Amino acid sequence: MPVVLRSSPLLWARVAAMVFACIAFSVALYGASLTHGTGDWCVFCWSFSFVGTLLIILVEMFGLQTRAPVSWKNFPITFGCYASLLCLSASIIFPLYFLKGYAGRSEMINCRIVSTVFSCLATIAYLSEVSLSKARPGEVAGYMATAPGLLKVCETFVACIIFVFISEPISYNQNAATKWCLAVYCICFILSAAVIVMCVGECTGCLPFSFARFLSTYALLAVGLYLSATIIWPIYKFDNEHGGQSHRPNSCGSSIGLCPWDKLLAISVLSALNFILYLADLIYSARLVFVTV
């Protein structure tokens, strides 16, 4: 089997991202003393990104794209986008939990600093890969290489973060309004994830209706749903008249990471962010004329 390795900016971006992610989790496991469960998440982000990128490079090196059980027009950029978001989350979470409040020049602190730096470098490298892989104006490409496809990845990732914050501690069972917000997050996440799976699995043609029309209709529905959640969640969590708490508790100042009130605020911000993402998705989906999926 011939080995083909053509040098290109995209290849070097992937190699750099892979190396940076490898260094980040290797140093963290070596001497960062990760005792908090959050450290396991960060290590997973880096190692998952490393393994996936290595797999993509090997498949293209040995010319196995046609034998892959996924659409190779959609899979690499989808993974690259997820990897950039995973490394970005680790770059924020890791120093928040493992550098905040620590001082000194010990080996443990140095390892944590090195992991944080290389996590940031891996994020930049993955963002470069996505930028090099995305479709250019007038170019026929897979759906996931277009702006709406990349927005779908961001939407599902933001929803996953919302699920983490809303479930630890559980903050959606206050009343019917907050349960509605949870339903909005779940419905939109499931549909966006289904679109990604259909595109990567090349099964969009199996739908009994137009895929493009489905995307536009769904984007319009998601905009309305997220608009309601963006309005309802802050009212019932930060308005004293509706059982909320308008001021940040003093106990939050001494807690490691995010306290429950901070997580409620993060859910509000992330809801508004996803509303903006779905609104941009709707605009792009309405303007998208021809895409091969």
For every residue of 167-195, DSSP letters joined together read: HTTB-S-SSHHHHHHHHHHHHHHHHHHHH
Verdict on whether the full-model pTM lies above 0.95? no
- Print burial letters for 196-226: b (CB count within 10 Å at least 16), e (below 16): bebbbebebeeeeeebbebbbebbbebbebb
Show me where the domains of the chain are located: 1-136, 146-292
68 or 84, greater pLDDT = 84
- Print burial letters for 65-98: b (CB count within 10 Å at least 16), e (below 16): eeeeebbbbbbbbbbbbbbbbbbbbbbebbbebb
- Print burial letters for 175-186: b (CB count within 10 Å at least 16), e (below 16): eebbebbbebbe
pLDDT category at 257 given cuts 50, 70, 90 is: low
pLDDT category at 12 given cuts 50, 70, 90 is: very high
Pair 120, 94: CB distance under 8 Å: no
Helix ranges, 62-144 (H): 75-98, 107-133
Pair 172, 181: CB distance under 8 Å: yes
As given in the structure block, the two tokens for residue 22 are: 């490898």
Phi, psi of 170 (to 5 degrees): -65, 125
pLDDT at 8: 86
E-state strands within 129-282: none
pLDDT category at 104 given cuts 50, 70, 90 is: low
As given in the structure block, the two tokens for residue 199 are: 């595109």
Cα 150 from chain centroid (whole Å): 10
**Which pLDDT tens digit goes with each residue over 160-184?**
999 999 988 888 888 899 999 999 9
Q: Which residue has the tokens 């290109």?
A: 8
Cα gap 232→263, rounded to integer Å: 16
**Which pLDDT tens digit goes with each residue over 122-151?**
999 999 999 999 877 666 678 899 889 999
Mean pLDDT along residues 58-71? 88
Residues 6+ apart with CB under 8 A from 170: none
pLDDT category at 198 given cuts 50, 70, 90 is: very high
pLDDT category at 186 given cuts 50, 70, 90 is: very high
DSSP 138: T
Mean pLDDT along residues 275-282? 95
pLDDT category at 108 given cuts 50, 70, 90 is: confident
As given in the structure block, the two tokens for residue 223 are: 């905009």
